Amino acid sequence: MSKRSCGSCTKCCEGWLSGEALGHKFYPGKPCHFIAIGKGCSVYAKRPQEPCVSYKCGWISNEDIPEWMKPSDINAIVDFRTINDIQYLKVTEAGSILDSKVLSWLIQYALTKQLNFVWMVNGNESWIGSPEFNQAMKP
């Protein structure tokens, strides 16, 4: 198990990702109803399984991702997702344009580990990966 913890990081709930918690939707531009940004969740003890308990922050769940890439420090969220049963790594901007150091590290990591990878910079989505993944990502 990871030794890392969220601490004061609340990026996943700040309105950069989408979901619904206890009947309240959150999505890009609208934070979770229950979040105190930089402090935590006001319903943490009774937060729902989906999406809250089951969410896996890449920084917490994968210690290959360096300590310096904590979401609150890089203004980006790294996580693993699935499309058409194909797993991929995704980085989501969370408060500022994705830093080139972060993107460069993640691209090198994805290439080294042969991972499918998606990133978005300033609203433009890009990806690299297997032929099956590239096909699945086409609009």
pLDDT in tens, 31-52: 999 999 888 899 999 999 999 9
Instruction: Write out pLDDT tens, residues 79-130.
Output: 999 999 999 999 999 999 999 999 999 999 999 999 999 999 988 999 999 9
Give the range of the structural domain holding residue 114, as residue numbers without chain letter: 11-137
Does 104 map to a domain? yes
> Comparing C-alpha atoms, which of 59, 38, 37, 35 is closest to residue 47?
35
Domains: count for the chain: 1
Does 6 map to a domain? no
pLDDT number for residue 2: 66
**What's the whole-model pTM score?**
0.91
Does 73 map to a domain? yes
Tokens at residue 96, please? 């500022």
Contact 44, 22 (CB under 8 A): no
pLDDT at 139 over 90: no
Does 3 map to a domain? no
pLDDT at 1 over 80: no
Does 111 map to a domain? yes
pLDDT at 131 over 80: yes
Does 4 map to a domain? no
Tokens at residue 136, please? 């699945």
Determine phi and psi for 104, rounding to 5 degrees. Answer: -60, -45
